[in-house]
Amino acid sequence: MQRLNRGVFAIEIKENSGFFSVMQMVLFILMFCEEKCLTPRISARGGLYGDADGKVDWFSAFFEPVRAPAALPLARKLRTSTVRDLVQLGFRQRYEHLLELGSASQLFFAYYRPAQHIVREVDAVCERLGISAFTLGVHFRGTDKTLEAVPVSWKDFCRHVETTLAENPHLNHIFISSDEQAFVDYFVAWPFSKPVSVAPARLLANGATPVHFSGFPGLEVGREALVSSLLLSRCGYLVKTPSYLSAWSRIFNPALPVKLVAPPRPDAFWFPDSRLWLEQDAQDKAA
């Protein structure tokens, strides 16, 4: 069916998984389009981040194409295929091992960028909270992430943050983002030597249930996830636990130094955290 589109690869994503899990699928689609010299037309409806009727293209609500799509002749009908799972197209097995942090960033920004209203919101928060190259970004992914990553105690994580501050004296401010309010409260109470600002997220996890499965309005959950990732990307350094959200901060800013305090589990050793961990391990061995 896609061959009838004559050079356009039109995919609509309807997947019930995390926001940046869907973004992984976008990367794979773009890799396929590069390989086959196709023009991507990506949309995403329904799922966890759209409306119940599937009328809102939430991917287009958050991202805009870098190049204006070419107009189709009036007689041509664009045929769009629907995919409902990260592995359905077979692209994960085909492309994940080929992904690198720098090239993934270049690939994504060659086709898409955050929508201007998202950029304006991120700019405003950075100005209000003083997020800059002198800020230590911190992201702790709690709730169900212990199923996919080696767990880190709250105390040990805070000590990792202290060590990073000591090793980088130019950092004069901490910005914390997490899906767990109890952890945020614990972190803010820790006697750090630098002031702490908290991400302005209103939608947090409900107990052990992740925020994207907690019944909040999908577009709001997606917007907060994207804004949080972009805010972390604006920092001068990032300390994190495994998470697609904060790993994509490195895609949004490929120059961002990142310390991953624990690895993903072997059965969840997925990009970008897999590459972050291998890169960090190689640097540690070289040192």
pLDDT greater than 90 at residue 6:
no
pLDDT greater than 90 at residue 237:
yes
pLDDT greater at residue 92 or residue 106: 106
Q: What share of the chain is helix, strand, coil (3-state, %, to 5)?
A: 45, 15, 35
Which residues, at least 6 apart from 11, have a Cβ–Cβ distance to it below 8 Å?
Answer: 29, 40, 41, 42, 43, 80, 81, 82, 83
Q: What is the pLDDT of residue 5?
A: 83
Q: What is the pLDDT of residue 120?
A: 97
Say if strands 8-13 and 258-260 run parallel, antiparallel, or are unpaired.
Answer: unpaired
Indicate the burial class of 71 (C-beta count within 10 angstroms; 0-12, 13-18, 19 or more): exposed
Helices (H) and strands (E) in the chain, counts: 10, 10
Of the CA atoms within 13 Å of residue 64, those in its CB half-sphere come to 9
Rounded mean pLDDT of the chain? 88
7-25 confidence digits (pLDDT tens):
899 999 988 778 898 999 9
Q: What is the pLDDT of residue 67?
A: 83
Q: Is the peptide bond before 191 cis (omega within 30 degrees of 0)?
A: no
Which one of 3.40.50.11350, 3.40.50.300, 3.30.465.10, 3.30.420.140 gives the CATH number of domain 116-286?
Answer: 3.40.50.11350
Confidence of residue 73 (pLDDT cuts 50, 70, 90): low
As a whole number, mean pLDDT of residues 124-136 equals: 97
Structure tokens at 144: 């169900």
Spatial contact of 29 and 40, defined as CB atoms under 8 Å apart = yes
Domain spans in the chain, listed from the N-terminal domain onward: 2-114, 116-286
Do you know the residue count of the chain?
Answer: 287
pLDDT greater than 70 at residue 98:
yes
Say if strands 135-140 and 112-114 run parallel, antiparallel, or are unpaired.
Answer: unpaired
